[in-house]
């Protein structure tokens, strides 16, 4: 075996490099946030009155968003932005975690709505820069998720359908990019469908205000199966595809499908699957049935049914495949929870946590816009990928001829991608100004 000439035992450690940068990809985030005027919009939208955290809301919003985009999962993680020369790649002052905590605890329900208005305006600005659907079809997936907490002292924490102590936000995402379009925080004991009709109406109005001019479709699971949600879709000229609850009436409709009408599909490896269609509540009820074949068939001899109600046009095989793609909402929720801050609620105050949800969603979207605006790439990409390749890069700041130079690692595999994002954002900045 070849002998190594490197011995980690001979390396000493000293935290004394004032020029080091933790997360050099903050430069890209800062360019994007400047394009979107986040600090200016925050200062205009958020007015905390005489509350202790009222000063400079724009700086606080950006500090939290940048920290979350880098993978911060709690308020204290924002201190990473104050290390070495990290602040020099940002155009705003970085605020201390204690100040950020005071800021979030100052929020009332009305202030959360102000932050939601900021979220919408920034989303609209990003869409205007090229990230929006424009005249193309837009598919909205909605779902709810339980954010687990570890103490009943946190306001409005409770047990929901998962029997896990937590809080229970509603989330609407864009199917082709994973962007969060709308998020509404709720108490932990809230039923999945609580406020769903109002939530989807707000979402429809929002995307149309922001320039979604093509056909819009809503996809959801059985938690949102209700006449109120159907009516909300009809009132806003939105198509829908929603999983049906297997009530006795729905089962009766399923059993009315003729055996000769079932169409075999390629769905499962160890069994067989078929799709069929019937009418229910004046809509199309499309049903997929599956059963096991082979050695285990005698244990589960009967068909298992999964049905959804829709007003979409098309053949049943295509619509079944289309509805199954609703699962992409879980990828967005996974991204929000793994490295983007929604794996827990940081405060004992409910409205502080509601504002946290919005900031997490904004940070999540910033990563999506790095991909769609900066890299000019369409489609889903995990936040972890962008974070690893373009954001969490070690760097070093030097100064030459009165200019700062950000030095990044030699042989960085994603150098071209980083340079492309930076060049595109800089060219957009020139156009905007």
Which residue in the block uniquely carries the two structure tokens 């004032």?
18
pLDDT at residue number 389: 94
Phi, psi of 355 (to 5 degrees): -70, -35
Question: What values do phi and psi take at 185, rounded to 5?
Answer: -80, 145
Q: Look at residue 294 in the predicted model and tell me its pLDDT.
A: 60
Q: Which of 227-241, 248-262, 330-344 shows the lowest per-residue confidence on average (mean pLDDT)?
A: 330-344
Domain span at residue 331 reads 21-243+312-389
Q: What separation in angstroms does the CA of 222 have from each of 141, 163, 242? A: 13, 18, 7
| Residue 338 counted as domain residue | yes
Report whether pLDDT(11) > 60.
yes
Measured at the alpha carbon of residue 229, what is the angle toward residues 223 and 231, in degrees to the nearest 5?
155
Give the rounded percent of residues in the chain with a pLDDT score beyond 70. Answer: 96
Sheet holding 395-400, edge to edge: 20-21, 395-400, 403-407
In a domain, 394, yes or no: no
Query: What pLDDT was estimated at residue 402?
Result: 82
Q: Is residue 370 part of a domain?
A: yes
Q: What angle do CA 381, 340, 388 make, to 5 degrees?
A: 55
Residue 432 forms part of a structural domain: no
Q: Is residue 42 part of a domain?
A: yes
The residues, any chain, with a CB within 8 Å of residue 51's CB and separated by 6 or more, are: 106
Q: Which of 150, 156, 220 is nearest to 185 (CA)?
A: 156
What is the value of pTM for the model shown?
A: 0.93
Cα–Cα distance for residue pair 390/370, rounded to 1 Å:
9
pLDDT at 122 over 90: yes
pLDDT digits (tens, 9 = 90+) for 17-57: 889 999 999 999 999 999 999 999 999 999 999 999 899 99
**E strand segments, 303-401:** 304-310, 395-400
Check whether 3 has a pLDDT greater than 70.
no
Predicted confidence (pLDDT) per residue in 192-213, tens digit: 889 999 999 999 999 999 999 9
Count: domains in the chain: 1
């Amino acid at each position: 075996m070849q002998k190594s000439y490197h011995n980690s035992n001979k390396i000493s450690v000293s935290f004394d490099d004032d020029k080091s940068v933790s997360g050099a990809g903050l430069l890209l985030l800062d360019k994007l946030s400047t394009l979107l005027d986040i600090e200016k919009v925050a200062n205009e939208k958020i007015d905390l009155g005489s509350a202790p955290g009222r000063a400079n809301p724009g700086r606080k919003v950006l500090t939290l968003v940048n920290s979350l985009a880098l993978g911060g999962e709690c308020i204290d993680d924002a201190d990473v932005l104050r290390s070495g020369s990290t602040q020099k790649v940002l155009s705003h002052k970085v605020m201390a975690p204690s100040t950020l905590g005071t800021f979030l605890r100052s929020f009332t329900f009305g202030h959360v709505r102000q932050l939601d208005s900021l979220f919408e305006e920034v989303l609209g600005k990003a869409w205007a820069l090229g990230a929006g659907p424009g005249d193309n079809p837009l598919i909205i997936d909605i779902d709810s998720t339980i954010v687990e907490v570890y103490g009943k002292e946190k306001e409005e924490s409770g047990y929901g359908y998962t029997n896990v102590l937590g809080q229970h936000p509603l989330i609407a995402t864009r199917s082709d990019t994973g962007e969060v379009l709308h998020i509404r925080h709720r108490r932990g004991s809230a039923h999945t469908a609580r406020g769903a009709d109002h939530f989807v109406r707000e979402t429809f109005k929002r995307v149309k205000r922001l320039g979604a001019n093509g056909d819009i479709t809503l996809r959801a699971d059985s938690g949102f199966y209700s006449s109120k949600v159907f009516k909300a879709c009809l009132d806003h000229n939105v198509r829908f595809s929603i999983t049906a609850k297997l009530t006795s009436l729905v089962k009766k409709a399923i059993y009315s499908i003729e055996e000769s009408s079932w169409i075999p599909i390629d769905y499962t490896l160890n069994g067989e699957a078929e799709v069929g269609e019937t009418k229910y509540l004046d809509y199309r009820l499309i049903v997929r049935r599956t059963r096991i074949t082979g050695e285990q068939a005698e244990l589960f001899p009967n068909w298992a049914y999964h049905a959804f109600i829709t007003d979409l046009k098309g053949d049943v095989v295509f619509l079944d495949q289309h509805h199954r793609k609703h699962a992409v909402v879980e990828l967005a929720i996974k991204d929000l929870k793994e490295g983007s801050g929604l794996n827990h609620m940081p405060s004992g105050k409910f409205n502080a946590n509601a504002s946290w949800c919005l900031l997490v969603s904004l940070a999540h979207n910033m990563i999506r816009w790095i991909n769609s605006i900066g890299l000019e790439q369409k489609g889903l990409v995990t936040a972890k990928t962008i974070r690893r390749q373009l954001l969490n890069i070690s760097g070093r700041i030097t100064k030459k001829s009165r200019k700062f130079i950000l030095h990044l690692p030699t042989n960085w595999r994603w150098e071209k991608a980083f340079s492309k994002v930076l060049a595109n954002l800089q060219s957009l900045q020139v156009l905007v100004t």
